[in-house]
Structure 1
């Protein structure tokens, strides 16, 4: 068994940041341990307090615990096979969506941004509770639309596998190597520029 723990995966940052940010990462190995519904509701409460344009709060979530086999399967079937290979072990699956129009019918250009803010609140709250999540763009949006009868102005954006950290060895390749690879980020100087972008 590896010594994979949250502490062993702390981000090495170039400046001091909140511990919950250093602790957040995206594992694929989840322990066979259910996530209490109360904890899931706490994550949604955190998401509720994200900022949004005109306080529209356009985010929506569809979720299921693995114990609810029918509901979990409906979400699971929307994933592409590469993500199904490991996400089947997650105790909770979520589909994050955003409403692309304001309540007055006008297009909401900030809808994707605002869902991202809500997701960030949600995943940092999860990290503070000892949970981990892995966001996945690898899912079939059309299948999700059909499965859940989504209206045209509700856009499925990303899925999330959520649970407690498992052992890397429970994964097969190529996921095992990815799980154990060093965490990397571009330096701040590669994306933050004072005054203007470089030529």
Structure 2
């Protein structure tokens, strides 16, 4: 490792700079791309990710979230990887596991499923936070080919693939393109609460 590489190591933690303390699982969650190709996910850890997703709230307990998932070294991992965008393929091969989150969009009566995307989002956030609790990290991606995923895995018409997820351990910036290195080192930022939470009337900050 060169001296330059040592100065560009991924921060072991990028805690959120919050106005008041929040739970460490929330403060420590971030979405690195620099993943360790040696990290593996145990059977119990892998199951726990989706057990956490299973217990997410959903509208009317309809539970619209479904996943296609595999660990590195399994054939399905490579099939999921093949549906990712070119930019995401470059770093996700080092993930310990990959998944595609799918939501039900039509109910058993053929009617549109209310809040299906919302339900998948809640379930996937549970999955991500469970990954943090396991000492892992997770990165959610919009950059994948939905049609390719549907064809590759025979996803029925009443379901819609919505998100791809990489889970793994924090790795090194070595070998990553400069543009991705910059993203890994960039401080985490969010809009202030004054722009997000209102009272009395729209635009009047509550905090």
Gaps of 5+ in 2: 1-5
Residue pairs, 1:36-185, within 5 angstroms: 36-68=42-74, 70-185=75-190
Which has the greater radius of gyration? 2
Give the drift of 1:38: 1.3
Secondary structure (helix, strand or coil) at the match of 2:201 reads coil
Q: Using the alignment, how far apart are the partners of 2:200 and 2:128 within structure 1?
A: 32
Q: Using the alignment, how far apart are the partners of 2:201 and 2:133 within structure 1?
A: 36
Give the drift of 1:147: 0.5
Gaps of 5+ in 1: none
2:20 aligns with 15
Q: Using the alignment, how far apart are the partners of 2:33 and 2:24 within structure 1?
A: 21
Q: Using the alignment, how far apart are the partners of 1:66 and 1:144 within structure 2?
A: 18
Q: How many residues align?
A: 197
Which stretches of structure 1, 4 residues or more, deviate above 6 A after TM superposition?
none
Secondary structure (helix, strand or coil) at the match of 1:168 reads coil
TM-score, scaled relative to structure 2: 0.90
Give the drift of 1:44: 0.8
> Which segment is superposed worse, 118-127 or 186-195?
186-195
Secondary structure (helix, strand or coil) at the match of 2:99 reads strand
1:187 aligns with 192
Please report the RMSD computed on the Cα atoms of aligned residues, expressed in angstroms. 1.5
> Which segment is superposed worse, 162-171 or 39-48?
162-171
Secondary structure (helix, strand or coil) at the match of 1:186 reads coil
Give the drift of 1:55: 0.4
TM-score, scaled relative to structure 1: 0.93
Deviations 1:93-135 (A, max 9, x none): 1000001123333211300001000011111111011110110
